[in-house]
Amino acid sequence: MNILDFIRNFDSDSSDLEGLVAISAVGRSIQSEFKSLEVDEPVWLGNNLEAIRSAIAVRKTDRLRKELAEMESRFEAMKPAEQKRQELAEKIAAARAKLG
């Protein structure tokens, strides 16, 4: 499959972040070449590059959420046992208060 076919038949689940960034870069280069040659670009090219950029944004957000969860987990593990007990006791008290 050549690069144009990949962009034309783009499926947001088919590539990882790095692959999508590479396809986006190549696609933008292709768009630029259409403009410099004063040739109308196919409608699907612009539409699918938009979709690729959207998929990149989603994957970036997912990656950041994953990293944040890992950092929070490591941070939680560093807390002293007494602090963890106190926080749990507060959560228990709050749950009991909500239940009446």
Sketch the domain layout of the chain as residue ranges: 3-99
Q: What is the pLDDT of residue 81?
A: 93
Alpha-carbon Rg for the chain in angstroms:
24
3-state DSSP call for residue 52? helix
The structure tokens 């987990």 sit at: 73
pLDDT tier, 1 (very low <50, low <70, confident <90, very high otherwise): low
Rounded to the nearest 5°, which phi and psi values hold at 79?
Answer: -70, 145
Q: What percent of the chain has pLDDT over 70?
A: 99
> How confident is the model over 30-41, as pLDDT tens digits?
999 999 999 999
C-alpha angle 28-34-37 in degrees, rounded to nearest 5: 140
Q: Is 4 exposed, middle or buried, given 0-12, 13-18 or 19+ CB atoms closer than 10 A? A: middle
Q: Is 69 exposed, middle or buried, given 0-12, 13-18 or 19+ CB atoms closer than 10 A? A: exposed
